[in-house]
Structure 1
Amino acid sequence: MKSAKVSVPGHSIVSSTPQSVLRAGSTRRAAAALGISQPAVSQHVKQLETTLGITFKRSANRIVPLQEAWELLRNVELALTSLDRLEASIFAMKNEEKQRIAIAAPSVFGFVTMPKVVAIIHAKTASNVRSISGSYDQVGEHILAGRADLGISRLPLDPRLFEWAPLGSARNVCIFHPDHRFSKQACIEAHDLAGETIVDIDPQFAAHQMNFNALRFAGVEPNILVEFDCNGHEAGYVSAGLGISITNEIIAREYEAFNLQAKPVEPSALYHYVAIWQKGRTFSNTLSVSLEAIIAAFSTAPAKG
C-alpha cells in the first residue's frame, strides 16, 4: 500500500508506519520492512498514541495492539482504498480516458452472469471491469467503502444506505446429476430426501436452517457428505454424482457448464435479487451502461431444469 499521509489535528502521520507495526508485531521488523531506522518507527508510534489516544501494549520486545488500534488500521485502509479510487477517477476524467467499473458480487455469478455483463459493457463502452467477490454482506461493504461502483445482492437492504434496481426473484430448487432418480419427478419434497447424500451450505446460512428444519419436520435426518461456505462449490460435488444440493433458481442458472438438472423443492423460500449502489450516487454514462448490462444479463439468463 502507498505511504499516504493521514491528517489529524496538529499532526501529519505517515500511515504506512503504524500499519507495518501492526502487521509485523515489532518496531524492528517494521523498520526493516519500511527501510527506515527503528527509532524513527518508535517515534511514529508514540506520536500516534499521543495524538489519537490509542495504546500499543509492549510485551517481551513485541508490540501488541489493542482493539482500538486494529479498528484504526481497518479504517485507514478503507480510506486509502477510497482515495486511490478517487485519484484514478480524477485522472481518467482529466485525460478523457476509459473508466474502470468495479462490480461486487458473490463469486458464483462469475460462471455465467458476470461474463455476460462484461461482454455488454465491452461492446458499448471503452471501459474495463474489476470484478470483486464476497458474501452479500461483503458486497454491501464494498459499495459503502467505495471499492465497488455497483453490486449484485439480495433484499432486504437498508434504504438509508443503498438504492437498487430489481433483477429477479427465485425459489428453492434441488440440483442433481442427470442420472439421478429425481429427474423423473416434477417437484422434490422433504420426505424424498430420505437416504439421499446431501451437499449442504454451511450452518451459518439461513438457507441451511430452513432446509434442515423442513427435513426434520418430515422425520428425515440429513445425511451430510460435505459442507461448503460459498455458493458455487456445490456444483462440482453434485456433478461428480456425490450427492444432491438445495439452492435457488437464480444460483442454479450459473451451473450451465456442469450439465445438472434442477427441480422445484418444497417447502421453499423466495429470494429477491437486486443491483445495488450507494444511496445518492451520481451516475456517469458508463455507470448507467453497466447497470443496464447487469439487468440485461439477468433477464436473458436461461432457466434450467
Structure 2
Amino acid sequence: MELLPGGLKFRQLQVFRAVLRTGSTRRAAAELGISQPAVSQHVKQLEATVGLTLFKRSANRIVPLLEAWELLRNVEMALTSLGRLEASIFAMKNEEKQRIAIAAPSVFGFVTLPKVVAVIHAKTASNVRSISGSYEQIGEHILAGRADLGISRLPLDPRLFEWAPLGSARNVCIFHPDHRFSRQGRVDAEDLAGETIVDIDPQFAAHQMNFNALRFAGAEPDILVEFDCNGHEAGYVSAGLGIAITNEIIAREYAAFHLEARPVEPSALYHYVAIWQKGRTFSGALNTSLEAIIAAFLEPAADVPAPLAAD
C-alpha cells in the first residue's frame, strides 16, 4: 500500500515505528511477526525512499538518529489517521457492535469505570476496552489511536486534545479508621512527623510536594513503601501499615477499603478532564460514553467519608 506518490509504503512506516518503540530490530520483528532481516530491509527501503539516513549502524544494532525521532512524530500522526479511518469504516458498517476504548489510570477501575461501562452496556450494544497508564501515557494512547476517550488531568496541549471538565480535587490524607487522625478535622505537615508513610514513586510531582511540605515543617519522611501507580496505597493503608497522601477524586475510588480521609495542608489543586483527540468526530456510542464518564464523576461516591472541615 502506497501512501505518497514518492512510493512511501504503509508497511515501511509500521516497521519503522515498531523499531523505535521497541528499541531493536529483533524486538520489532517479534512484535510484528516477521523476520529480523525483513525488518532491516524495510528500514533500508524507507531510508532510500525518504532520502535520509535515519539510523547509525554498529555491529548488530542500529541506533536511531535525531532525524528518526523527528520523522516518528509525523509517522505516528499518519498511522493514527489511517487507524481512525479503518475504525470509522468498521463503525459505519457495524455501529451496533462498536468497541469503545477508554484510557485511564488503573485506580479508576475500582469505582468510576464500572459505572461508565454499566451505562454504555445499558444504552448501546458497544463493548469496552479499558487501557491503563500514567497521565502522560493516557495522552499517548489517545494520540496513537489506541483509545477513543481518556481520563486525565490538566494541563494538556490544546493543539492536540479537546476535553470536558470532570471535577477538581485537593489533597487529602487517607488512613485506617483507628488512626489518631480520625479525631482531627485537618492534617498539617507537622502532624505527619513520625508517621509511617506509603508514598508514590519519586518521579511523580505529588511525591516532591509531599516531601517538601514535610521538610519545610522540619520533619524527615519515614517511607515504608513506594508505589508507582495510584491505587496501590489503599491496600497498605487499610492494613494499618501507614498513611498516604492522595486527592479527593482518587480517594473516592477507595470506597471498598473503608478508609477515612482528611484535608491536608499545604495542598495542591488538581483538575480532572475527559479527553479526546482534537477534531475527533463522535459516533452515537462515543457520545454516550463521554456522557457516562461525566455523570460518573458527578455522582457522590458511596461509603467514602467526606473530608471534615478544618477546625
When normalised by structure 2's length, the TM-score is 0.83
> Residue 173 and residue 158 in structure 1: after superposition, are their counterparts in 2 closer, same or farther (change >3 A)?
same
**Take 2:115 and 2:201, find their aligned partners in 1: how far apart are those partners?**
29
DSSP 3-state at the match of 2:3: strand
Match of 2:48 among 30, 47, 50: 50
The 8 Å contact of residues 202 and 227 in structure 1, kept in 2 or not, is answered as yes
Which AA in structure 1 matches 2:287? S
Aligned position for 2:308? none
Indicate if the aligned counterparts of 1:177 and 1:261 stay in contact, CA closer than 8 A. yes
Distance apart, 1:108 and its partner CA: 0.8
Residue in structure 1 matched with residue 217 of structure 2 by the alignment: 218
Task: Tell me which moved more, 112-121 or 235-244.
Answer: 235-244
Quote the residue 1:170 is aligned against: 169
| Paired position in structure 2 for 1:203 | 202
**Percent of aligned pairs sharing the same letter:** 78
Distance 1:63 1:189, change over 3 A: closer
In 2 relative to 1, CA 82–110 (structure 1 residues): closer, same or farther, beyond 3 Å?
A: farther
| 2:152 aligned partner | 153
Residues 284-303 of structure 1 mapped to structure 2, 5 A cutoff: 284-302=283-301
Aligned to 1:245: 244
Q: Partner of 2:3 in structure 1?
A: 7
How big is each residue's C-alpha offset from its partner over 1:57-111, in whole Å with a ceiling of 9 and x where there is no partner?
A: 4433x13232344665686567545534432331231244321111111111011
| 1:292 to 1:204, Cα distance in 2 relative to 1, 3 A | same
Match of 2:92 in 1: 93
Distance 2:16 2:279 in 1: 34
1:51 to 1:243, Cα distance in 2 relative to 1, 3 A:
same
Measure the CA separation in 2 of the matches of 1:189 and 1:213: 13
Q: Tell me which moved more, 72-81 or 265-274.
A: 72-81
Structure 1 pair 246–89 and aligned structure 2 pair: CA distance change class (3 A): same
CA distance in 2, matches of 1:188, 1:21: 49
Question: Does the 8 A contact of 1:105 with 1:152 survive in 2?
Answer: yes
Query: Which amino acid in the other structure matches residue 281 of structure 2?
Result: T
Q: Structure 2: which amino acid aligns with 1:162?
A: F
Which residue type is aligned with residue 274 of structure 1? V
Rounded to whole Å, the distance in 2 between the matches of 1:19 and 1:279 is: 22
Q: Which amino acid aligns with 2:6?
A: G
Structure 2: state its 5+ residue gaps: 306-311
Give TM-score scaled by structure 1 length.
Answer: 0.85
Provide the alpha-carbon RMSD of the alignment: 2.9
**Aligned counterparts of 1:178 and 1:245: Cα–Cα separation in 2:** 13
Given that 2:76 and 2:144 are in contact with CA atoms closer than 8 Å, whether structure 1 keeps it comes out as no
The change in CA–CA distance for 1:254 and 1:9 in structure 2 (over 3 A counts) is: same
SS at match of 2:274: strand
- Is residue 173–residue 265 contact of structure 1 (8 Å, CA) maintained in 2? yes
- The 3 A distance-change label for structure 1 pair 179 and 163 is same
- The worse-fitting range, judged by mean Cα deviation, of 71-80 and 264-273 is 71-80
Q: Is the 8 A contact 1:275 1:295 kept in 2?
A: yes
Cα deviation, residue 154, structure 1: 1.4
Asked if the contact 1:24/1:30 (under 8 Å) is kept, the reply is: no
Task: State how far apart, in whole Å, the 2-side matches of 1:278 and 1:116 are.
Answer: 23
Where do 1:136-147 residues align within 5 Å?
A: 136-147=135-146
Q: More deviation in 136-145 or 103-112?
A: 136-145
Q: What is the match of residue 62 of structure 2?
A: 64
How many residues were matched structurally? 297
Relative to structure 1, is the Cα distance of residues 126 and 180 closer, same or farther in structure 2, using a 3 angstrom cutoff?
same
- Show structure 1 runs of 5+ residues with no match: none
Specify the code of the residue in structure 1 equivalent to 2:45. Answer: Q
Distance, in Å, in 1 between the alignment partners of 2:159 and 2:72 is 26
Structure 2 CA distance for aligned equivalents of residues 175 and 299 of structure 1 = 21
Change (3 A) 1:157 1:259: same
Alignment of 1:26-37 (within 5 A): 34=34
> How far has the Cα of 1:162 moved from its partner?
2.3
